[in-house]
Structure 1
Amino acid sequence: MSQPSFSNASAWSHEGLSPSSFSLAYQPVFSIKAENQFVVAFEALLRITNRGVTQGPAELVTRAEADGTIIEIDRWVLDQVIALLRSRPRLSVWINTSQLSIAHPTFVEDAIRSLTSNQVIGRVSFEVTETADVDAQILTKRLEVLRLQALTVMVDDVRDGYAKRSLIFSDAVAGCKLSRESTRELMVSERTRAEVESLVKLCRRLGKQVVLEGIETTDELSLARQLGISLCQGYFLGMPANPADLQHFTEMRPHD
Structure 2
Amino acid sequence: MERDVFSEIAVHTGSGSPSLVYLPQVRYPSGEVIGLEALFRWRADTAPRRHSPLSFLPRLSVSQTSELFFWVVDTAVAEARVLSDWTGWEGIVAVNVEADQLGDPDLVHHVQRVLNESRWPAQRLALEVTERRQIPVYPSVVRNIQALQQAGVLLAMDDFGEGYASFEYLKRLSPALIKLPAGFTGGLERDPRNREIVRSVTALAQRLGVQVVAEAVERAEDAQALRELGLQVMQGYLFGEPRQLEDWAEALNHGGRLRAI
Q: Deviations over 1:173-219 (max 9, x none)?
A: 10200122322364543223222222112101101010001111111
CA distance in structure 2 between the partners assigned to 1:106 and 1:43 by the alignment: 23
Structure 2 residue corresponding to 1:167, chosen from 166, 169, 179: 169
Q: Which letter does structure 2 place at the counterpart of 1:30? A: V
Runs of 4+ in 1 over 6 A off after TM superposition: none
| Counterpart in the other structure of 1:207 | 209
Map 1:42-121 onto structure 2 (within 5 A): 42-50=36-44, 51-52=46-47, 53-64=49-60, 67-89=62-84, 90-91=89-90, 92-121=92-121
Inter-partner Cα distance in structure 2 for 1:175 and 1:83: 23
The answer to whether 1:26 aligns with 2:30 is: no
SS in 2 for 1:14: helix
In structure 2, C-alpha distance between the alignment counterparts of 1:210 and 1:73, rounded to whole Å:
27
| Structure 2 CA distance for partners of 1:41 and 1:171, relative to 1, 3 Å | same
Is the Cα–Cα contact under 8 Å of residues 183 and 220 in structure 1 kept in the other structure? yes
How many Å separate the matches in 1 of 2:38 and 2:143?
Answer: 25
Matches of 2:77 and 2:3, distance apart in 1? 20
Q: Percent identity at matched positions?
A: 26
Shift of 1:250: 3.7
TM-aligned CA distance change 1:222 to 1:45, over 3 Å:
same
Which structure 2 residues correspond to residues 154-233 of structure 1 after superposition, within 5 A? 154-170=156-172, 172-184=174-186, 186-233=188-235
Q: What corresponds to 2:259 in structure 1?
A: none
Alignment CA distance shift 1:191-1:145 (3 Å)? same
Instruction: State the AA in 1 paired with 2:131.
Output: E
The aligned counterpart of 1:234 is 236
Aligned partners of 1:178 and 1:30: how far apart in 2? Answer: 14
Where does structure 1 lack aligned partners over 5 or more consecutive residues? Answer: 1-7
CA contact (8 A) 2:186 2:217 kept: no
Question: Which stretch of structure 1 is more off in the superposition, 17-26 or 37-46?
Answer: 17-26
Residue 216 of structure 1: SS of its match in structure 2? coil
CA distance, structure 2, for counterparts of residue 137 and residue 215 of structure 1: 34
Give the CA deviation at 1:9.
5.1
Contact 2:133-2:164 at 8 Å conserved across structures: no
Q: Does 2:131 match 1:130?
A: yes
Indicate conservation of the 8 Å contact 1:156/1:178, yes or no: yes
SS at match of 1:236: helix
Could you say if the C-alpha distance between residues 27 and 105 of structure 1 is closer, same or farther in structure 2, counting changes exceeding 3 Å? same
User: Are residues 232 and 190 of structure 1, via their aligned partners in 2, closer, same or farther at CA, if it must alter by over 3 Å?
Assistant: same
> What TM-score do you get using the length of structure 2 for normalisation?
0.83
Q: 1:77 to 1:187 in 2, by over 3 A?
A: farther
